[in-house]
Structure 1
Amino acid sequence: MALVYKQILVAVDGSKEAEWAFRKSVGIAVRNNATLNLVNVIDTRSFSAIEPYDPSLADRAQKFAEEMLNNYKEEAMSAGVKNVNVLVEYGSPKSMISWDISRRIHADLIICGATGMNAVERFLIGSISEHIVRSAKCDVLVVRTEQAQDDAPSGYYTSEGSG
């Protein structure tokens, strides 16, 4: 009996690791004929102290997230993913991804990039990917490397490759 994923949640934040996670998720979604749910969680704690001085910060974060997700959506659809949803959420990425969003969409796989933080930052605020691995109720794939498969078309894994 083969495991088939139907609802894949991919957390993207504009980092290189998140882009690698997105690219690997496309191949997995195509192979499984799954719905790809692209999410960006705008961490309201990160700009709450700055926002009184720059009230446009939330609007700019929303526009950045929407543009990034829509670009990823177009790329995924052109690579053969039939169903792609985009979600921009506000709150703590740790809890939103592993609890709220994953349950709302009935995710059976969460894909995220490994953190780019250094040891001190991880100690002080904790790794989002680490929290997702510990608290998610479904499978989690943490992407640490860029795809290295040379024969995959357009940078995506094929059914012969591993994802």
Structure 2
Amino acid sequence: MKDMLQQYKNILVPVDGSYEAELAFKKAVAVANRNEASLHLVHVVDTRAFQNISSFDTTMVEQVTDTAKKTLDKYIEEAKSNGISNVDYSIEYGAPKSIIANDLPKDLNIDLIMIGATGLNAVERLLIGSVTEYVTRTAVCDVLVVRTDLENKPAKKPEV
């Protein structure tokens, strides 16, 4: 009899430096291990955030990109030390919602997006809409929203 277990092959994890994204990454490593899947990390630099700055210069984008690279390199190391051999990342520029929900899943043949629950409050969600909410509604593949820590307890941000 054929093995009927659903297996994910390509997992996408958007990371933005937040605690929620880090939890999604850690859980994605475990899921990728169980499924022998490849892991794709992405950081999207929301270029619209820079459009309102009158003295728009590339150094700001470069700074954001450098910070993202450092975070992503750290995650790659962590994934590899946890047994994930097939792991990579990309830094994209544009509107995070459509890049995460549509563009990358199609380009990379993604079958699961694991995304952190965003910390936007109700008013912010009303005004700008949460990326996570958009992705869960419109993604072309399965989406798992990570709301809990590695023990599946409600995630609490570490006290600073």
TM over 0.5: yes
Counterparts of 1:56 and 1:121, CA distance in 2 = 28
Give 2:136's aligned residue. 133
1:38 paired with 2:55, answer no
Q: Deviations over 1:29-70 (max 9, x none)?
A: 011111100000000011222262554110001111111111
Instruction: Name the aligned partner's letter for residue 131 of structure 1.
Output: Y
Give 1:159's aligned residue. none
Aligned residue runs from structure 1 range 100-119, under 5 A: 100-119=103-122
Instruction: Name the aligned partner's letter for residue 42 of structure 1.
Output: V
1:89 paired with 2:92, answer yes
Give 1:11's aligned residue. 14
Gaps of 5+ in 2: 154-160
TM-score for both structures, normalised by structure 2: 0.90
SS state of the match for residue 145, structure 1?
A: coil
Give the direction of change, closer, same or farther, for the CA distance of 1:39–1:27 in structure 2 (3 Å limit): same
For residue 99 of structure 1, the aligned residue among 79, 99, 102 is: 102
1:142 paired with 2:132, answer no
SS state of the match for residue 6, structure 2?
A: coil
Give the direction of change, closer, same or farther, for the CA distance of 1:60–1:51 in structure 2 (3 Å limit): farther
Give 2:32's aligned residue. 29
Gaps of 5+ in 1: 151-163
Identity %: 51
* Number of equivalences: 150
SS state of the match for residue 149, structure 2?
A: coil
Structure with the larger RCO, 1 or 2 (CA within 8 Å, 6+ apart)? 1
Give the direction of change, closer, same or farther, for the CA distance of 1:51–1:97 in structure 2 (3 Å limit): farther
Counterparts of 2:56 and 2:136, CA distance in 1 = 36
Cα RMSD after superposing both structures: 1.4
Instruction: Name the aligned partner's letter for residue 122 of structure 1.
Output: R
